[in-house]
Amino acid sequence: MRQLTAQDAAFLYLESQGAHLHLTALYIYDQSTAPGGVVRHKDVLRYVESRLHTSPVFRQKLVSLPLSVDYPYWVDDKQFDLEFHIRHIALPEPRDWRQLCILVARIHSRRLDLSRPPWEMYLVEGLDNIKGIPKGAFAIIAKYHHAAIDGATGTEIISGLHSTTPEFDSDPVAEPWEPQPEPSWLGLMARATVNNIRQPFQLTKAVASVLPGISQTLLKGELPEISQNYEVPDTIFNAKVSAHRVFDGVTFKLRQVSEIRKAVAGATVNDVILTLCGGALREYLLSKDELPEESLIVMAPINTRTADESDVAGNVLATMTVPVYTDIADPLARLRAVREATAGAKATDRAIGARQMTDISRHIPSATTALAGRLVTRLGLGHRAVRLANCTVTNVPGPQQPLYLNGAKLLKSTGCGPIIDGMGLILTAISYNGEIVLSMTGCREITPDPEFFVACARRSFQALKKAAEAEVKRSTPRAATKKKKTRKKAG
């Protein structure tokens, strides 16, 4: 039995009719590498069954306490039924990328059954007409509730479900699974009493641990220089969301992204992703005459796990808000500005401690978190209150070697993120085996044209790539000339 943290539970309390807070992954496979060149539904069932032990997420369901007097618990589901969680469908004609995106969006729109372990998988056959994908390929669309995993743990789960070679052992583990008995209500209420007495003291201790860092930073006069209060402009994304989603994605070479960052000293792959997204958002809003004069501000999740917590399920996240400079037309100038902004955000993080802020959130009482969730969802404060950001941009590094499921080679990895009232767009960059897939998930009422948004992202990347190549080319001859002059002087 494992209790949810305040951060985990917030993803339950913030759910509404239009905002379902789960993550949806899309994996595309070439089954020609599998034994016999075919992967059937029963093969996937047997294969996944043999790997259920790699994460407790698969067999655990939620048990909540009345009136949210304490945070819910994960307990073993005695009625666990693998075939309920893994379904088998076929992609409709014409079986192209657009149809697959529509299918992903529809599946992502549906709420998970929280009376069971909160995950589902759909085996999708018949990907016969997708450019760059071999005919007969299949896909797996996997959904996991955000209360159970974040991006980092999601990557760990996927690694556990895959092998690094086509050869595999699909036999179930030798020791059969025995579910632990569910806790009694009396026992849970006793735990809740102890937790509610203890939490205020733990919260005080956590807050006290942050104060020295803040004090030292203020005394040094550093905070005003590295931290800015960005004004978040009003955009079409900052509205109430419906229950319907749209999805699309575009693929870039990781090597090319890494080359672009060399054009600006100190720039990272994440800076390039933010700059690329800034260009896409700029063009998209310009085309609708909706681009504000101020830069859009994005929320970027940060994994704050320590080395000791690499195998901890759930969420260990902090966030930073940074401008993506949609007010700057020149792509290289935008990258320089993004680099300066993220460097400042990281300096603030070091001074105050994103990890410490995450620890503080863990000790907030359940009733307080639940009440805040109800105020946001039921009273519609998500899009009426102070805007934290215009949208979310998340970058999830994945494995850089080929992975296999039941012998079938994983060709592409991407997925959908959750959106909420007030932030109706999330851009997700997932890297795998030398590629980065940038996907967009939006509300159908707010962004009804995902294909156009992806086209904007593609043009933004090309413009940034061209500008970066020109900058590197300009700087390289100067360095070479300088070396030649130095040699002549030495001679």
> Does a structural domain hold residue 215?
no
Instruction: Indicate whether 407 belongs to any domain.
Output: no
On whether residue 406 sits in a domain, the answer given is no
Phi, psi of 218 (to 5 degrees): -65, -40
* pLDDT average, residue stretch 414-433: 94
Instruction: Choose among 8, 12, 48, 42: nearest CA to 27.
Output: 48
Looking up tokens 């360095």 gives 479
171/235 same-domain check = no
pLDDT of residue 71: 83
Q: Are 112 and 243 part of one and the same domain?
A: no
Which of the listed residues 189, 218, 247 is the one where a domain comes to its end? 189
What is the C-alpha separation between 306 and 304, in angstroms, rounded?
Answer: 6
User: Would you state the pLDDT for residue 116?
Assistant: 95
Three-state DSSP class for residue 255: helix
Question: Residues 473, 328: one domain?
Answer: yes
Question: Within a domain: residue 195?
Answer: no
Residue that the structure tokens 């320590």 belong to = 306
395 within a domain of the structure (yes/no): yes
Q: Domain count for the chain, please give it.
A: 2
CB 139 within 8 A of CB 127: yes
Q: Are residues 185 and 236 in the same domain?
A: no
319: CATH: 3.30.559.30
Asked if residue 15 belongs to a domain, the reply is: yes
Residues 147 and 28 both lie in one domain = yes
The reported pLDDT for the residue numbered 482 is: 52
Do 463 and 315 share a structural domain? yes
285: confidence class by pLDDT, cuts 50, 70, 90: very high
**Residue 163 shares a structural domain with residue 270:** no
Fill in the DSSP letter of residue 236. T
Rounded CA separation 74/92 (Å): 37
Residue 176 CA to its chain's centroid (Å): 33
- Same domain for 162 and 279: no
Specify the CATH number for the domain of residue 109. Answer: 3.30.559.10
Residue 420 DSSP symbol = B
Mean pLDDT of the chain: 81
Verify that 106 and 38 share a domain, yes or no.
yes
Dump pLDDT digits (tens) for 215-267.
444 444 444 333 456 889 999 999 999 999 999 999 999 999 999 999 999 99
H or E element at residue 242: none
Residue 138 lies in a domain: yes
pLDDT of residue 366: 45
Do 304 and 178 share a domain, yes or no? Answer: no
* 286 and 369 together in one domain: yes
**Residues 177, 262 within the same domain:** no
Domain that holds residue 150: 2-189
pLDDT at 187 over 70: yes
pLDDT tens, residue by residue, 365-394? 444 444 444 444 444 555 555 578 999 999
Residue 42 lies in a domain: yes
Which of 235-239, 301-305, 468-472 is predicted with the least confidence, judged by mean pLDDT? 301-305
Asked which of 49-58, 230-239, 368-377, 470-479 is least confident by mean pLDDT, the reply is: 368-377
- DSSP annotation string for 369-381: HHHHHHHHHHTTT
Range ranked top by mean pLDDT from 255-264, 337-346, 475-484? 255-264
Radius of gyration of the chain (CA): 24
Among 158, 189, 220, which residue terminates a domain?
189
